[in-house]
Amino acid sequence: MVLDVIVMGAINMDMYVHVDDFPKYGENIQAKELDQQVGGKGSNQAVTVAKQGVNQVLIGAVGQDDFGKQILTTLNQQGVKTDAIINKEDTQTGIAVAVVDHTGENTFMVILGANMALNAEEVEEAMAPLEGKIFLLNLETSQESVLAALKMAKKKNMYIVLDPAPEGSYFEETLQYADLVTPNQQETERITGITVNNVEDAKKAAKWIADQGVSDVIVKLGSEGSVLYESKKDRFTIIEATKVKAINTVGAGDIFAGVLASELARNSDDLVHAAKIASKASALKVSRPGGQDGIPTKEELDQM
């Protein structure tokens, strides 16, 4: 069976510490509450894809610990296919701690654990029986696992969507495989050296990335929307943001990527439409509290 979307990326247990304001350096403050949820870019993106009702599977790694067991149970309950998740011995499951302030902005600290222990051989074995339309991945697992996955996805003629987060020193090596790259403002600046303050800056940066051999580029501008550049059509499209009151921005980029991949699996010829739906989904997510529980379903997006 050909899957609609194959996702690969980090799988973590996330701890959300809610505060009124971020502490200053050396300052001790009282937090309001602590939430624990399954997270990681790969996990978030896979749950998003599952909630869009398309066939998917998640490739990644967890440790053989309590967090790993909890994560697999939760992902299965969310409808994510977990057959390709590797259980790593002698390595802890990834953990992320997010401090979220009253505006919904967040700062993350991550122990990648099993995510960085995922190796090329394990990825090749997991991907060997898989066929898919869209391959969605990020850079939160080991370099060798990312490059192995990209090579296999290319050989299998999948459309490759690369979320370049976190931006690594080997990013340039990934460009020869990616069909679509979706950096945010900070990632765009690190990749291109162009500071992105407005739409015109985003256009310049998107064109620069496309000139490195990538067919399509989406530069995400947060609450200001995004800029799409399709190099084969030499066309820019401004994707307007849906205006909402932000409660929690955690995972907004992951929801954008997951919905984008899902819509492309349905209709690979209409990237503009896919980007618009992804933008709406991201906005709806930041207007809600929590992590994966706040990811919108296909039905909710259809009603917007």
Amino acid identity of 130?
L
Q: What does each C-alpha distance from 27 to 53, 56, 114, 252 come to in angstroms? A: 45, 44, 32, 28
42 annotated ligand-binding residue: yes
Identify which of 110, 108, 106, 109 has the alpha carbon closest to the alpha carbon of residue 248. Answer: 106
155 is in an annotated binding site: no
Please compute, for residue 97, the number of CA atoms within 13 A of its CA located in the half-sphere on the CB side.
6
- Please report where in the chains the tokens 């050909």 appear, as a residue: 2
Determine whether the annotation assigns residue 225 to a binding site: yes
Q: Assess whether 254 carries a catalytic annotation.
A: yes
Question: Is 254 annotated to bind ligand?
Answer: yes
Burial of 93 (0-12, 13-18, 19+ CB in 10 A): buried
Nearest to 10 by CA among 149, 157, 155: 149
Catalytic hit among 4, 163, 201, 254? 254
**47 membership: H or E segment, kind and range:** helix 41-51
Q: Decide if 106 contacts 100 (C-beta within 8 A).
A: yes
Q: CA 236, 240, 246, 252 torsion: positive or negative?
A: negative
Q: Which of 251, 249, 265, 185 is CA-nearest to residue 221?
A: 185
| 290 close to 248: Cβ distance less than 8 angstroms | yes
The response to whether 263 counts as a known ligand-binding position is no
Per-position DSSP letters for 248-261, written without gaps between them:
--TTHHHHHHHHHH
The answer on whether 12 is annotated among ligand-binding residues is yes
Report whether 163 belongs to an annotated binding site: no
Q: Is 13 annotated as a binding residue?
A: yes
216 is in an annotated binding site: no
Tell me if 28 is assigned to a ligand binding site: no
Is 142 annotated as ligand-binding?
no
Q: Is 41 annotated as a binding residue?
A: yes
User: Is 221 annotated as contributing to ligand binding?
Assistant: yes
Asked if residue 184 belongs to a known ligand binding site, the reply is: yes
DSSP output for 220-271: E-GGG-EEEEETTTTEEEEEPPPP---S--TTHHHHHHHHHHHHHHH-TT-H
250 is in an annotated binding site: yes
Which residues belong to the annotated binding site for ATP? 184, 220-225, 253-254
Catalytic sites, residue numbers: 254
Residues annotated within the binding site for K(+) are: 248, 250, 285, 288, 290
Residues annotated as binding site for substrate?
A: 12-14, 40-44, 140, 254
Binding annotation: 12-14, 40-44, 140, 184, 220-225, 248, 250, 253-254, 285, 288, 290
